[in-house]
Amino acid sequence: MTVRPFAGSTTTTLLATTANGKISINTSTSVVTVTFTALETDIKAETYAYDFVFYSGAVTTRLLEGKFLVPIGVTV
């Protein structure tokens, strides 16, 4: 899973892979878990674009893509 400031950006805000331990896949339950720490998600309040891509050998499949908004916090 790659999170960027906008689609087409070369800047990566957050990156989750099985290699970096941010994504775990339970094949017996078909559950995929993406985990970031509070420090990693302490990012600027704005809209971000993401995609979730599955690589299997030479085959690449985009499972999810979209945008999300990080609002300005109300509490310190």
Cα–Cα distance between 41 and 38 in angstroms, integer?
5
Domain boundaries, the chain: 2-69
3-state DSSP percent of the chain in helix, strand and coil, to 5: 0, 45, 55
Q: Coil, strand or helix: which one is 41?
A: coil
Please write the tens of the pLDDT for every residue from 29-49.
999 999 999 999 999 999 999
Element (H, E) at 27: none
- pLDDT > 70? residue 57: yes
Instruction: Kindly report the pTM of this predicted structure.
Output: 0.83
> What pLDDT is stored for residue 73 in this prediction?
79
Q: What is the mean pLDDT of residues 49-53?
A: 96
